[in-house]
């Protein structure tokens, strides 16, 4: 059974979704850069080891990442899942775990990398938004995409309503991506692309607003 370490900074809603999915893997630790992260309590309630590596105790990103890697390596994970981990990781850290490190991002990558995605989508008048699970590479939010989900942007959406709609899809696709990885149905190949041995879905267009 593959072992997973989860990294988080906040409420842990994606952690809860992963736990609720009862996947064929074991979450062996949850690590946070914030001691007040609510996700740590979720982990503790499920008997999962928790660790805090407080980022502001370190002089720079490299020293923080070295301390974080030391803690991760104690659990010898097969997968490291970022679930709202609000730290930009150094290239050395990413390269250390290349092919094992995955992330959930609230946009249809490669569009809208970085932060404040929902506000930017609304400002730009985008009609279809969503979320992506991807392998992490040294370039921020640029790794090969494992799975995506799309939602319509409604004419009266606010950041809060759109965020809520996207989050519901995050809770569906992140456990799915981890399930595929744990069953060795999806991986990052030597060319840095996503490879798989599972059947693809039949294609269908997504149009928003709908045609009349």
In our burial notation (b when 16+ CB lie closer than 10 A, e otherwise), range 170-196 reads bbebbbbbbbbbbeeebbbeeeeebee
Res 207 pLDDT > 90? no
Return the domain boundaries, the chain: 2-194
What is the reported pLDDT for 202? Answer: 65
Q: Average pLDDT in the 103-119 region?
A: 98
What is the reported pLDDT for 198? Answer: 76
Q: Rounded to two decimals, what is the model's pTM?
A: 0.94
Q: Which residue in the block uniquely carries the two structure tokens 């997968």?
A: 79
Q: Average pLDDT in the 117-127 region?
A: 98
What angle separates helix 159-182 from helix 13-20, to the nearest 10 degrees?
40
Q: Which of 105, 118, 134, 171 is catalytic?
A: 105
Q: Average pLDDT in the 82-111 region?
A: 97
Res 56 pLDDT > 90? yes
Q: Is 118 a catalytic residue?
A: no
CB–CB of 28/77 below 8 Å?
Answer: yes
Res 209 pLDDT > 90? no
What is the reported pLDDT for 47? Answer: 98
pLDDT in tens, 22-41: 999 999 999 999 999 999 99
Assign 190 a pLDDT band (cuts: 50, 70, 90): very high
CB–CB of 88/61 below 8 Å?
Answer: yes
Res 165 pLDDT > 90? yes
What is the reported pLDDT for 163? Answer: 98
What is the reported pLDDT for 210? Answer: 73
CATH 3.40.50.170 is right for the domain spanning 2-194: yes
């Amino acid at each position: 059974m593959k072992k997973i370490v989860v990294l988080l900074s906040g409420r842990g809603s994606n952690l809860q979704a992963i736990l609720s999915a009862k996947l064929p893997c074991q979450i062996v630790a949850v690590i946070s850069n914030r001691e007040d992260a609510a996700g740590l309590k979720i982990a503790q309630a499920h008997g999962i080891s928790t660790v805090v590596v407080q980022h502001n105790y370190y002089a720079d990103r490299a020293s923080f990442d070295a301390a974080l890697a030391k803690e991760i390596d104690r659990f010898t994970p097969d997968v490291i899942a970022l679930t709202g981990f609000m730290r930009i990781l150094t290239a050395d850290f990413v390269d250390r775990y290349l092919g094992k490190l995955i992330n959930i991002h609230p946009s249809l990558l490669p569009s809208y990398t970085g932060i404040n995605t929902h506000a930017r989508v609304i400002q730009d008048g985008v009609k279809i938004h969503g979320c992506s699970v991807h392998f992490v590479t040294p370039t921020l939010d640029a790794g090969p995409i494992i799975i995506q989900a799309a939602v319509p942007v409604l004419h009266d959406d606010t950041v809060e309503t759109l965020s809520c709609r996207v989050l519901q899809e995050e809770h569906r696709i992140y456990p799915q991506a981890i399930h595929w990885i744990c069953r060795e149905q999806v991986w990052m190949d030597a060319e840095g692309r996503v490879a798989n041995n599972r059947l693809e879905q039949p294609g269908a267009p997504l149009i928003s607003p709908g045609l009349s």
